[in-house]
């Protein structure tokens, strides 16, 4: 058995790598993208509710969820209740920095103020924790990244053209996740082709919709209609933070410590700092042994037995940090 240590850069969290236990005849595997073929996150950069309202209504009608990055100093107090309603509908709100200015520009606050200062004001206003940050104009500096890593789970940046998606079972830089900027000038066919490629690769793609939004309304209607016509279970369309948490939890699970005790296997893993509670991973059991009946294998968490659904998928509570697999005697 080889025991290695993997240090993840995201918020200074250490996830312990997995001890290979090849002698055990059953192996658990997290189902990619919450039982979908690929994942898509729709993100919007603005703090003014009014220009976004047609898109927000379209999202609600189509049962689609998205992430909205708010620039703290640009949020109008008259619109606070509307943003709370967006949150209540199941969408995600994140920080787009304190004032949205670039490093070196006039009125650019320190990196600490841009990241932490903006976060504190937004969390006090909304009454909920925020997990995601968008770099202003996609500009990443070492000081900004340092503070994003300290205060957020995920940062949205700009990926190189050949690395615009995130593969399942990968360990990306959580503080600079790649995204694709979208404007009214973007080719709808090109964006559709990128999403289809991500489905083929079973990867996660983040779209970053940019201002102004009024010219984007017609483009968006065509795009939303196309999304709703995608094959069933092909796209897991969820806010950036939720998809990111599922992927990161899988990464920690893959690097768990495993201990064998005769007919029992014990799994233990670390939960990253600032992780939201109650995260559930979908898990299947795999075996290459014809002697093992998976229906008789038992899974426990904190002495509570987990029961799979009809498809043999278990709901694993990631925040419990442990799991026990018991073979039939």
Mean pLDDT along residues 274-284 = 95
| Residue of 310, 316, 321 lying closest to 281 (CA atoms) | 316
Q: State pLDDT tens for residues 204-219.
A: 999 999 987 777 888 8
Per-residue exposure over 301-312, b if at least 16 CB sit within 10 Å of its own CB, e if not: beeeeeebeeee
Cβ–Cβ contacts within 10 Å for residue 125, how many? 16
Domains along the sequence of the chain with CATH = 5-34+261-326 (no CATH), 37-244 (3.20.20.370)
- Res. 5: pLDDT tops 60: no
Q: State pLDDT tens for residues 90-119.
A: 999 999 998 887 666 655 668 898 999 999
Specify the higher pLDDT residue, 78 or 297.
297
Per-residue exposure over 71-99, b if at least 16 CB sit within 10 Å of its own CB, e if not: bbbebeeebeeebeebeeeebbbbbbbbb
Residue 87, classed as helix, strand or coil, is helix
Cα dihedral sign, 257-13-130-214: negative
Cα dihedral sign, 19-25-28-31: positive
The overall average pLDDT reported for the chain is 88
Residues in a beta bridge with 324: 266, 300
Count of positions (residues) in the chain: 329
Q: State pLDDT tens for residues 213-245.
A: 777 888 899 999 999 999 999 999 999 999 999
How many whole angstroms separate alpha carbon 165 and alpha carbon 206?
A: 7
Tell me the Ramachandran region of residue 53: left when phi exceeds 0, alpha when psi lies from -120 to 50, beta otherwise: alpha
How many whole angstroms separate alpha carbon 135 and alpha carbon 66?
A: 17
Q: State pLDDT tens for residues 113-164.
A: 899 999 999 999 999 999 999 999 898 999 999 999 999 999 999 877 667 8
- Res. 308: pLDDT tops 80: yes
- Terminal-residue alpha carbon distance, the chain: 25
Residue 79, classed as helix, strand or coil, is helix
DSSP per position, 185-203: TS-HHHHHHHHHHHHHHTE
How far from chain centre, in Å, is Cα 88?
A: 19
How far from chain centre, in Å, is Cα 314?
A: 20
Residues in a beta bridge with 284: 29
Residue 3, classed as helix, strand or coil, is coil
């Amino acid at each position: 058995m080889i025991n290695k240590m993997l240090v993840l850069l995201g918020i200074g969290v250490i996830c312990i790598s997995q001890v290979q236990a090849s002698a055990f005849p059953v192996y658990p595997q997290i189902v990619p993208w919450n039982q979908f073929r690929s994942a898509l996150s729709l993100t919007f950069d603005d703090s003014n509710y009014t220009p976004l309202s047609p898109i927000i209504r379209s999202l609600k009608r189509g049962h689609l969820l998205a992430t909205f990055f708010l620039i703290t100093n640009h949020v109008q107090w008259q619109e606070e209740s509307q943003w709370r309603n967006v949150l209540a509908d199941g969408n995600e709100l994140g920080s787009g920095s304190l004032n949205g200015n670039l490093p070196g520009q006039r009125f650019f606050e320190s990196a600490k103020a841009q990241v932490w200062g903006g976060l504190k004001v937004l969390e006090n206003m909304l009454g909920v924790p925020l997990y995601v940050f968008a770099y202003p104009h996609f500009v990443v500096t070492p000081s900004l990244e340092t503070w994003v890593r300290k205060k957020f789970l995920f940062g949205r940046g700009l990926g190189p053209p050949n690395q615009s998606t995130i593969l399942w079972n990968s360990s990306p830089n959580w503080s600079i996740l790649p995204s694709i900027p979208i404007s009214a000038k973007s080719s709808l066919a090109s964006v559709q082709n990128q999403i289809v490629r991500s489905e083929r690769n079973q990867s996660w793609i983040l779209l970053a919709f940019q201002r102004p939004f009024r010219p984007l309304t017609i483009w968006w209607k065509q795009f939303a209609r196309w999304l709703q016509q995608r094959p069933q279970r092909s796209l897991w369309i969820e806010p950036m933070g939720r998809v990111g948490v599922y992927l990161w939890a899988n990464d920690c699970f893959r690097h768990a410590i495993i201990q064998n005790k005769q007919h029992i296997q014990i799994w233990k893993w670390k939960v990253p700092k600032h992780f939201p509670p109650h995260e559930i991973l979908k898990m299947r059991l795999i075996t290459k042994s014809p002697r093992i009946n998976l229906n008789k294998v038992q899974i426990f968490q904190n002495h509570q037995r987990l029961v799979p659904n009809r498809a043999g998928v278990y709901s694993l509570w990631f925040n419990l940090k442990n799991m026990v697999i018991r073979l039939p005697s």
